[in-house]
Amino acid sequence: MKIAIRYFMLLSLFHTATSALSTVHAQNVTSVSGMVKDSISGEPLPFVSVYFEGTTIGMLTDENGRFTLQHKGKHLKLSASSLEYNPKTISLKAGQKNEGLELLLQPAVFQLSEVVVKPKREKYRRKNNPAVELIKKVIEHKDENRIESKDKYQAEIYEKLVLSLDDFKPNLDKNKLLHKFKFIQNYVDTSAFNGKPILTVSVREKLSDVYYRKSPKVAKTLVKAKRMQGIDYGVDDGVGITSNLEEIFKTVNIFDNNIPILLNRFVSPLSSTQAVNYYQYYIMDTLDVAGDSCIDLAFVPVNRQSYGFTGHLSYQRRNGARFRNDYANLFGFVG
């Protein structure tokens, strides 16, 4: 078994340093923003899944049906889908700004003899909600899905931590501080998360073998290789900076009740104590994941002012509560 863990952190430049910066356009960055609406009523549709096909870049529309996405790529297709509506896909040209788009979703229509039934958007309810019943069942059996439930396992874990300056737009000719470092312009890249220019300042990689046995309990981690490049190379003694980074970027386990990120704890969508009250759940679609028929379950915080996650989880239909941990997207924070 091989497990890859990647951490990315974007560090904002100080205001005093950025006041003299000018715009540098990232090539081939496609940005899109707009609103998803009901094609008949014209009402905005909240919590619709909007994403670039063939990527993990996506989000759920907010309570006003609005969305904003960016991606660096070619031949992009933007899709929107919701359980009660027919999915819609449009093509976008790479490197263009697409603002004020209106994606009109047509309500799904089911015809029975001469009776036409059209689903009606209703207020979110927990009682008699199939999505809530599903997530309760999954949470009830989540310990069976933990890798530690196995008698023993061996895994190779690859970890990568990248620290970058976010929204890096220097005017190297006018900025006296950076004038002598024009070569850094060759290292400016584009963020896969927000499409903004970034300058990577540190990269840390580690490859380890993990061995686990349940009874008698044995857990060992053997580091096979590690590499460090960047401004902290030669400065880090392997204790100070490394220890702090390990504390900030702790290993995430979605089966835990809380997920640690940047020294804060956030309610997991699989929390045994708070999940159902903290998140709203929506059954979106049925997916084929590595040959298994899975239910696509979307989630979003109940209170848009609260800090939490938006994203998707998938569960095998034939095993009911079995979680496919190779298909889980936490699109980002809300709040």
pTM of the model: 0.58
15 is a domain residue: no
Given this model, what pLDDT does residue 182 score? Answer: 72
Within a 13 Å sphere around the CA of 308, how many CA atoms are in the beta-carbon half?
Answer: 23
Picking from 47, 102, 126, the residue whose alpha carbon sits closest to that of residue 304 is 47
* Whether residue 267 is found in the same domain as residue 228: no
- Alpha-helical (H) ranges within the chain are 15-18, 130-140, 142-145, 240-248, 275-278
Q: Is the peptide bond before 269 cis (omega within 30 degrees of 0)?
A: no
* Whether residue 153 is found in the same domain as residue 136: no
CA 91-188-98 angle, to 5 degrees, is 25
Given this model, what pLDDT does residue 215 score? Answer: 92
User: Contact at 8 Å (CB) between 298 and 281?
Assistant: yes
Q: What is the pLDDT of residues 133-151, one digit of tens each?
A: 999 988 998 888 888 888 9
21 is a domain residue: no
Given this model, what pLDDT does residue 315 score? Answer: 78
% of the chain beyond a pLDDT of 90:
19
CA distance 315 to 297: 8
Low-confidence ranges of the chain (pLDDT < 50): 7-26, 110-117, 325-329, 331-335
For the beta carbon of residue 273, count every other beta carbon within 10 angstroms: 12
14 is a domain residue: no
User: Contact at 8 Å (CB) between 282 and 124?
Assistant: no
The domain boundary residue, chosen from 195, 215, 249:
249
Q: Is 96 left (phi over 0), alpha (psi -120 to 50) or beta?
A: beta
Range of the domain at 224: 146-249
16 is a domain residue: no
* Whether residue 202 is found in the same domain as residue 131: no
* Whether residue 73 is found in the same domain as residue 214: no
Given this model, what pLDDT does residue 102 score? Answer: 92
CA distance 194 to 168: 13
CA distance 217 to 202: 37
Given this model, what pLDDT does residue 21 score? Answer: 33
Q: What is the pLDDT of residues 252-292, one digit of tens each?
A: 888 999 988 888 888 999 999 999 999 999 888 777 766 77
CA distance 39 to 32: 20
* Whether residue 35 is found in the same domain as residue 90: yes
Exposed, middle or buried: residue 68 (CB in 10 Å: 0-12, 13-18, 19+)? middle
* Whether residue 84 is found in the same domain as residue 34: yes
The domain boundary residue, chosen from 194, 220, 249:
249
CA distance 56 to 197: 19
* Whether residue 171 is found in the same domain as residue 222: yes
The overall average pLDDT reported for the chain is: 77
Number of compact structural domains in the chain = 3
* Whether residue 140 is found in the same domain as residue 258: yes
Within a 13 Å sphere around the CA of 2, how many CA atoms are in the beta-carbon half?
Answer: 3
Q: What is the pLDDT of residues 30-53, one digit of tens each?
A: 888 999 998 888 889 887 888 888
* Whether residue 95 is found in the same domain as residue 123: no
* Whether residue 156 is found in the same domain as residue 230: yes
* Whether residue 45 is found in the same domain as residue 98: yes
* Whether residue 232 is found in the same domain as residue 264: no
CA distance 177 to 186: 17
Residue 7 pairs in a beta bridge with 161
Given this model, what pLDDT does residue 16 score? Answer: 30
CA distances from 234 to 139, 200, 231, 238 (A): 46, 17, 8, 10
Indicate the SS3 state at residue 90: strand
